[in-house]
């Protein structure tokens, strides 16, 4: 997408032809800072500490992490070590495992001398494929916004609520949940986004608001608890969220708080859609609620808030009394029954085992 008129992706190969450039998302929205990854350790740390985040981008960074490992040592042991280190960096988003499996398949059974180049080729393909998938999600989701716009009075916007950041920063480009929104906006449809702030790390307030603003999409940041009230008063036409993993039965794991939005949407008759790129499908997991490992992160993320002070300094302040225990669950699971539809690169499908298997039969090895 464009940042100040300049096209930018969230990940790229630097002009040296091998090291990997990323946006340090921990500095946004206050500063646009880039970082250079030159080792597998740096790639794993960038994922762990959330310089990069969002399921598809985590997968892309992991893919290049393997490239960096193989550049240093193209042995089988190095590949296995890279797989183990990177797959443990964050547990919930399945794109990480998907990307590592793709890279491993591309390099195994090749002579050592060819492995590194093969890994870089596959990593670049994974990135381009992500952009193509997200563009298709945009085209397939656009009619949802068009249909609502057609029912609106002149001058009224289509109000879309989204949670966390499933925008271009969470992917290589375009985003998943944001793809239909950007397309609608670019085609001149009046679309307005309610961006949940998304405590504790505030990806909605910091990242979604930043990228929508840079692209000129009208938006309003709301506290996480506001969505239900807005829906009760007819102020949300549509919810579109992203996902970190969709299980074989159509359950959707996404940023903590998504489930509550789905409940509120159901109670108020608001359509609740999930934008789903196929690498996010996990056919090996039968049931999301009981089987997906939910990442628990540092209590500090809940106990503190970081922002820019009036004098421009970035400050972190504590908001929880010293000594109060804090829990920090990073994701939750929305059961398939609460989901109106999954917007995929192959069309909008039901959140069900039959629909997922029908649309993506080639991904369904060993479904339970």
Residues 244-303 that bind ligand MRU (CB under 6 A): 244, 254-255
Of residues 26 and 78, the one with the C-beta less far from ligand MRU: 26
User: Counting every residue, how long is the chain?
Assistant: 368
CA–CA gap between residue 113 and residue 111 (Å, rounded): 5
Which x/- pattern, by CB under 6 A, does the window 327-356 give for ligand MRU? ---x--------------------------
For the bound state, the minimum distance from the C-beta of residue 219 to ligand MRU, rounded and expressed in Å, comes to 16
The active-site residue, picked from 244, 251, 282, 332, is: 244
Task: Rule CB under 6 A: say whether 199 interacts with ligand MRU.
Answer: no
Task: Rule CB under 6 A: say whether 56 interacts with ligand MRU.
Answer: yes
Give the residue, chosen from 54, 65, 141, 257, that forms a contact with ligand MRU under the rule CB under 6 A: 54
Give the residue, chosen from 28, 40, 53, 202, that forms a contact with ligand MRU under the rule CB under 6 A: 53
Select from 24, 28, 27, 22 the least CA-distant residue to 62: 22
For residues 117 and 51, the answer to whether their CB atoms sit within 8 Å is no
For residues 126 and 110, the answer to whether their CB atoms sit within 8 Å is no
For the bound state, the minimum distance from the C-beta of residue 188 to ligand MRU, rounded and expressed in Å, comes to 25
Task: Rule CB under 6 A: say whether 141 interacts with ligand MRU.
Answer: no
For the bound state, the minimum distance from the C-beta of residue 255 to ligand MRU, rounded and expressed in Å, comes to 3
**Token pair belonging to 281:** 């499908």
From the list 49-57, 229-237, 309-317, 334-342, the region that binds ligand MRU by CB under 6 A is 49-57
CA–CA gap between residue 59 and residue 86 (Å, rounded): 10
Tell whether the torsion through CA atoms of 207, 208, 209 and 210 is positive or negative.
positive
Residue least distant from ligand MRU (Cβ): 242
Of residues 185 and 200, the one with the C-beta less far from ligand MRU: 200
For the bound state, the minimum distance from the C-beta of residue 49 to ligand MRU, rounded and expressed in Å, comes to 12
E runs forming strands in the chain: 2-3, 6-7, 11-13, 20-23, 34-37, 158-162, 191-196, 219-222, 238-241, 245-247, 252-255, 272-275, 281-282, 304-308, 314-318, 331-334, 341-344, 347-349
For every residue of 264-325, DSSP letters joined together read HHHHHT--EEEE--GGGEETT-S-HHHHSPPPB--THHHHEEEEE-TTS-EEEEE-S-TT--
From the list 48-56, 113-121, 123-131, 229-237, the region that binds ligand MRU by CB under 6 A is 48-56
Biggest CA–CA distance in the chain, Å, is 64
Residues 154-193 that bind ligand MRU (CB under 6 A): 164, 166, 170-171, 176
Task: Rule CB under 6 A: say whether 242 interacts with ligand MRU.
Answer: yes
CA–CA gap between residue 57 and residue 244 (Å, rounded): 11
For residues 239 and 162, the answer to whether their CB atoms sit within 8 Å is yes
Residues 6+ apart with CB under 8 A from 143: none
Q: Is 244 a catalytic residue?
A: yes
Of residues 235 and 294, the one with the C-beta less far from ligand MRU: 294
From the list 9-17, 145-153, 238-246, 337-345, the region that binds ligand MRU by CB under 6 A is 238-246
Which residues does residue 20 pair with via DSSP β-bridges, in sequence order? Answer: 13, 37
Of residues 249 and 334, the one with the C-beta less far from ligand MRU: 334
Q: What end-to-end distance do the CA atoms of the chain give, in Å?
A: 38
For the bound state, the minimum distance from the C-beta of residue 48 to ligand MRU, rounded and expressed in Å, comes to 11
Task: Rule CB under 6 A: say whether 239 interacts with ligand MRU.
Answer: no
Residues in contact with ligand MRU by the rule CB under 6 A: 53-56, 93, 164, 166, 170-171, 176, 203, 242-244, 254-255, 330
């Amino acid at each position: 997408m464009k940042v100040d008129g300049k096209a930018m992706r969230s990940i790229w190969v630097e002009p040296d032809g091998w090291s990997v450039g990323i946006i340090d998302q921990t500095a946004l929205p206050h500063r646009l800072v880039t970082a250079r990854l030159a080792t597998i350790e740096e790639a794993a740390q960038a994922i762990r500490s959330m310089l990069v985040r969002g399921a598809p981008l985590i997968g892309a960074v992991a893919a290049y992490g393997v490239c960096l490992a193989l550049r240093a040592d193209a042995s089988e042991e190095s590949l296995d070590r890279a797989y183990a280190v990177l797959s443990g960096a964050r547990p919930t988003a399945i794109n990480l495992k998907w990307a590592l499996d793709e890279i491993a398949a591309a390099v195994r059974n090749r002579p050592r001398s060819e492995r590194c180049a093969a890994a870089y080729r596959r990593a670049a393909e994974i990135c381009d494929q992500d952009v193509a998938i997200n563009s298709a999600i945009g085209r397939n989701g656009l009619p949802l916004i068009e249909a609502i716009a057609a029912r609106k009075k002149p001058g009224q916007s289509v109000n879309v609520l989204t949670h966390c950041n499933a925008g271009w920063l969470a992917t290589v480009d375009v985003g998943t949940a944001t793809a239909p929104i950007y397309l609608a906006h670019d085609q001149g449809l009046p679309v307005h986004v309610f961006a949940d702030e998304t405590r504790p790390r505030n990806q909605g307030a910091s990242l979604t608001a930043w990228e929508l603003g840079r692209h000129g999409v009208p938006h309003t940041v709301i506290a996480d608890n506001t969505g239900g009230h807005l829906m009760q008063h007819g102020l949300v036409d549509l919810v579109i969220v992203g996902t970190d993993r969709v299980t074989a039965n159509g359950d959707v794991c996404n940023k903590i708080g998504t489930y509550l939005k789905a409940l509120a949407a159901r109670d108020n008759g608001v359509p609740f859609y999930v934008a789903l790129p196929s690498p996010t499908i996990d056919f090996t997991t039968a049931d999301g609620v009981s089987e997906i490992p939910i990442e628990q992160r540092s209590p500090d993320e809940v106990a503190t808030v970081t922002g820019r002070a009036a004098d421009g300094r970035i400050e972190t302040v504590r908001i929880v009394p010293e000594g109060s225990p804090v829990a920090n669950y990073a994701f939750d699971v929305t059961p398939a029954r609460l989901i109106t539809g999954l917007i995929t690169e192959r069309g909008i499908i039901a959140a069900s085992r039959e629909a997922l298997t029908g649309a993506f039969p080639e991904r369904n090895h060993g479904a339970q």
